[in-house]
Structure 1
């Protein structure tokens, strides 16, 4: 097989994977991701359709797979398997216990579908031979809120929290609209949210949240982009 043909086959496979992992994909985004023209993406989509993949086009929005269609499990290359194992060691340094628990469960399912016993042996060895330097208190998880906050964020649900502010040594009750999550390796997670009490965006450290409740109240999606917030935060704080 010629290099050009192999490159196209790899791209078609990658487009299939993207279609299964995302609800909508535009030809422009796909073209940028794979470094080809939009016209090339059009041809790729037609090729997949001719191969029997039920791709639907939503006018003005992009491509999506027909509801209920599932692509057979893909095989991981050795490099991809190694990347997953390395990421696992990084996750184990995280301060949120729920993330460690959920990622470990997910990675075990991935390991279970590996067909090649040789690769299984290799990733088992690699998992024992990769480590990251960490502070002495890395085992002390400081929160257990991540999946709940992620759900509230994607469902646009208002969160009610009891929050400790060390600067004023006070505890307040807040209703907040989750916007984004940020993390520095080995340290607590931060939630960026619109605080209805302060009427502004605020950073909330997970380890200062004393209690949390996801309410039934919803809010409209925030118009601001994460990079816009981070740029403004850096300008005001550095």
Structure 2
């Protein structure tokens, strides 16, 4: 898909959203809004009709959706929602303010169709994820998605962890936050072996098992954690 295809797909989606939120729209209104010609809008409307969208044309007035037609809500799994939230945190590090604004508006629309439970978990994950400014280095981990799930569902987790001396220990941990540094992904978790909060490098977690047992949520924000423990 080239840049023009991407722009057109984005415009078609936006036109459909506009038709859902307004009772009647003229071709000239749509052309002005998206900075394209009226002929382009005609082609876009025809493409939507060919895709099965029931658009009605009122002569001399404009376009509207057939009464009662609704776009089916987009369904995301919990891990897909978590991936979107992680992407949102990355975008917030971008220096282009217009890009950030557009992406946040898009994410807000996505959040609007998430179920309440998944939305709450996604918001918790956003609050418990932090990135460094430098996002250029490569980080490898097979456990990020599983740890996101354990964090947002308060699942006790068993890991086999290898330290700098290559010595392995089994730990029971309560995942609290995920932090991206310039070198690695770090997990902040309450370690039941050491009876304190510890940092764990994700690339040193050799085995991971999410247990059915739940832990009591730690009632503090990530910033409060830093203020209290660092």
Larger Rg: 2
